[in-house]
Structure 1
């Protein structure tokens, strides 16, 4: 099962409205009744969505012992599409038009003939799609953490995630909400009783003489302050270079952290494009410093985290807080079963959020202005090795 083996990649959603105290046999029956391939619909989009047991693309078997692990449900969703490729549709249309043109005195199909040709192609598409000849099947792993009210979706947010979340919402009558940087910050601010302070925040520029006017990649339809994700990665970078490689989380546990392997940056104004740096420690390279000095912001970075003796490697996307390429390090003689794996995933998720909560607490504090000045001074410094900032 994908979440139980190998590296991890996921987006997260909060789950609200599931009233059962635990996942039981009645829910197993619901999954089985909505298994992929069990029901076909007359969908005009030729898209069929259903659950899978998790073992393979045709697994329709569900069982509590198999799918319920450490109070989390592991399964997959399969998305079947029956859409004719655009190139094939275009070729069929050209063939139809060529037939009309051949019999036409002018050698060109008339307006009515072009209409007939399009109708003929549409009919052929329906027949070919119904035959299953162009069916494409994709499966996406899900981990529904009942203990924490979270859904881990093993993919990136897009059309596939919309199909999967819609299926879950309809089937179990729950409400799912994607947890990007802005939503995580807003949820934190409610718990910390500082929502108004967070709501007043605006993007900042870390470069002297520049005024932040927003991020070109921001979702214009969202009111969530996703820009905090970019500022969080910038703050992490500065903190690790100038303060300490150990950060205290709100629960007073400690995380030792380093940024590693990959770093993607982009100009928020769209003036100087994107840049991706791959190295053992990309933030140490002069081109990385040059990029942020020119006003670019980090959008994605690799990192290694150590918390409570457990080491994780991962890549974090700033705005969506999507995680990819995550690895859980094990000792050579360590016994690690599926329950331990679920606990490790929870620790990974909680640690990333805890780091972000620490930043959010600093971001709404009056001392944030001092931090911002320190970051700006650091960026304005020469290319000499960074000195530890004064307390």
Structure 2
């Protein structure tokens, strides 16, 4: 048991080191730290983990005017600046400031032979003021009052907004999206810093999303920087409408349903018939078709066709469940409990996955009579990463699935 636990700890440590290595996280190398208006230099560059900026302990402490005492045997650190005394230990989130306990957002750890510490906690604990400009990747520290104004040249990097239809989504080691806009396909890099959101275009339900939940055909607006990296992706989707086919015009690929709705099936549309891949010939009068369309148009990029006997009526509206814990932005362990409220008797399915990876964990439960639900999640077999994990939950009631509710958490 001890051997297994030790091996697990070592694997996590190796994973953290690989994820934080400068050569695989070029965006993090651009972080600049200014102390009282002067650019600070460190032999190990600042980095970001779990949404927090970390810097070499001795470098930032000494530049803030603190005296540092480090006990290598116990890995205990004491920093003194004036009347402020800060104590913390490598690998622990527990710290004290003037004897009062504090909980760090991210524990101190070693990288490249240097002890990395959370910049904001240490700076504020030592009586300094800190400002973080995410757009320009700049940290401003003031040791005698308010943090100074940003240098004139530390301006946010130019970005461009592109809107179009998602035609491909790739998760894993090299996450990418392909966006079709103005008749052209653009491949855009997705990074751990990319904000990803997905909403129902009709109900506006949704929120933070994992990359893998974005679907081909989603209408998306992507903010892209000069490195062709997405800084933000906002995708919208619509619940596909369905109905019985009344007429098919094969010349212009137009399909008219019995209620008068008309759709144009794109030449590259994905078509299935009773769950099997098919072509345009599957669209025949009397059959049931469900169309996924480009937002704001009647152009279908995906059509699911079924025989009338296999058809399912269009779903009634079911509201998204509510996630009450953990809260968005909270830090959890590798095993934790998700709680919320939903329709009594409904089934709630909870999915947890790293924002950029395809691996996920799912759990489901039936909502209690008082409307509450809870599930236990274990991420022990999911790769440990520094970027956030997305928890999403849907409820299924009378065969109808709701839009997802979601929150982002950090995993320690």
Q: Same fold (TM over 0.5)?
A: no
Q: Which has the higher strand share?
A: 2
Q: Which has the higher helix share?
A: 1
Q: Which has the higher contact order (CA 8 A, sep 6+)?
A: 1
TM normalised by structure 2 equals 0.21
TM normalised by structure 1 equals 0.22
